[in-house]
A = this chain, B = another copy of it.
Amino acid sequence: MIDIRAIQDKLTIFSNEREWDQFQSPKNLSMGLVRESAELLELFQWLTEKQSIDIVHSEKQMLLVKEEMADVFLFLVRLADKLDVDIEKAALEKIKINESKYPINLSKGNMEKYNRRNK
């Protein structure tokens, strides 16, 4: 269980203390989110897929991975707070959408995007 409200409240206090709220428009937060995701991507860029699976055995690399994943999460929950989005509800709804977009019989063993299927 993640106490998302507690994290969002910490972020609000953090921003208020630094007078950063003025910079944190949804537009700018979405830029931050992409940037942090790209920093996470960078950790996997030159690894083979097999090496990316084995990264769990490197304590040093996992520290970096956790830090970048945290950054992505923090930008996402800050944005959710700003836009009053219930992340859990949105996630559960999206899983349902995906279940209908990707029916088991059409999707088994291939990840072809639903709108490219049969093209």
Q: Which residues of A contact B (CB under 8 A)?
A: 1-5, 7, 10-11, 14, 17-20, 23, 25-28, 30-35, 37-50, 52-53, 55-56, 62, 65-67, 69-74, 76-77, 79-80, 82-85, 87-88, 90-95, 97-99, 102, 104, 107-109, 111
Contacts and interface: CB of A to CB of B under 8 A. Distances in A.
Interface of A is mostly: helix
Given A2-B4, A11-B95, A18-B104, A23 B111 contact: yes
Contacts of A40: 30, 33-34
Number of identical monomers bound together in the oligomeric complex: 4
A50 B69 CA distance: 28
B79 A76 contact: no
